Amino acid sequence: MERTLLIEYGALDSRLDVNTPSSFDDEAKKTSLMAEQLGREHDLVIIPVLYEGLPNEGTPFIKNVKSRLSGGRGCALTLENFNILVSANSKYRLSTMIAANGGLLANHQSLGLGDPEDTIEGYVAESLSYHNSTYGVKNSMTIAVPKVQQEISDRYPDIHTIASCIRFTFQYHDDDYDAAFRMSHAVVPMPQDFRRRDFLYRHRDNAHKIMPLLNLTCGNPDRRKCYLHYVRLEALAKGVSQTVLDDPLLLEECLRQDAFPSICKSKHECLLEASRYSRTENAGQPICRREHAIDNTVLIRDAIRAGVWQFKIARSSQAKEHPLKSKTATSLIKMFANEHRRVSVQIPKGIHPVDAP
């Protein structure tokens, strides 16, 4: 019986200086040793996966090009430092997960990776694939738009593709989850869906592909508002007028017609507004409520017993400590080990640590 636990967490946090890439090697070595030690203590194979956003800016040879799939969310990591980070992780057999959760505003038919020399997305995918084949790691990308996910799978079959929970803000029937499971190495469900009493049973045959967020619970039952939240972030980064974003009917019409008029007064204004929208949604109401521990131990226990072995930890619980030492990770590791001692949970045939994202 494979006792394998995958923990995905934010790669860069307040402990690291993204402008000092020499620290990436030390961090990767520390993480690798820590995972081995925790694994020995709890009789588990612990696989840490480091998560980072898609770099927004290009390199000297990708000039005046911005990421089309970052979703408007900032990333302090430059493209050059991204490559250094992935190389450092690969050296210590650590996998890297890159978020490509944007593309909500674009006509999906026009989206594409592009060539590595011309687009950030193409460069990132090429680098992840190179390190996979060279070091035997399983680098991955989380993706919201199915068309983009399919293209990555077709062009780079060695990159693990993860269906982002953002996908289910605009496609959210059980059939959409079935389709996501078929095309993905893993699926991150919307917290609203994962908390449904029938979700684990409905998708029990794909439990080994479920990757739930442990400590990020949506505070709004209307997932359409979640979708518009992400649309606002992406639109602001593109310079769309605040007038459009403050009028729900106009915003919906722009989405239907794929036409966003006007430009913000300045890039600074856009960034300020994007920051505001990332924290609140009208009248100061929280969009997401973050907890600093596993908020539903019964649900997580049932998930482990069903065969779920991959979990995401929100960045909010990682400040000033290594994520594997955070309260959430510590609780998860103990719970996972205890459940494997108490009940027989078999990781589905074919799943092995080297196959992890």
Per cent of the chain over pLDDT 70 is: 65
CB 55 within 8 A of CB 79: yes
Nearest by Cα to 86 from 132, 121, 120, 33: 132
Assess contact for 300 and 176: CB atoms under 8 A: no
Q: How confident is the model at residue 35 (pLDDT cuts 50, 70, 90)?
A: very high
- pLDDT given for residue 108 in this prediction: 54
Amino acid occupying residue 269: E
- Select from 1.10.287, 1.10.4100, 3.20.20, 1.10.12 the CATH code of 4-219+288-355: 3.20.20
Out of 87-96, 173-182, 271-280, 346-355, the most confident range is 87-96
**Low-confidence winner among 38-42, 106-110, 115-119, 246-250 (lowest mean pLDDT):** 106-110
Domain extents in the chain: 4-219+288-355, 220-286
Residue 104: its pLDDT value, please? 77
8 vs 64, which has greater pLDDT?
8
What average pLDDT does the structure give for the chain? 77
pLDDT band at 323 (very low <50, low <70, confident <90, very high): confident
The predicted pLDDT at position 69 comes to 80
CA distances from 291 to 73, 213, 229, 237, 309 (A): 21, 11, 20, 28, 21
State the pLDDT confidence band at 304, using cuts at 50, 70 and 90: very high
**Phi and psi angles of residue 48, each rounded to the nearest 5 degrees, phi first:** -85, 135
How far is 248 from 219, CA to CA, in rounded Å? 20
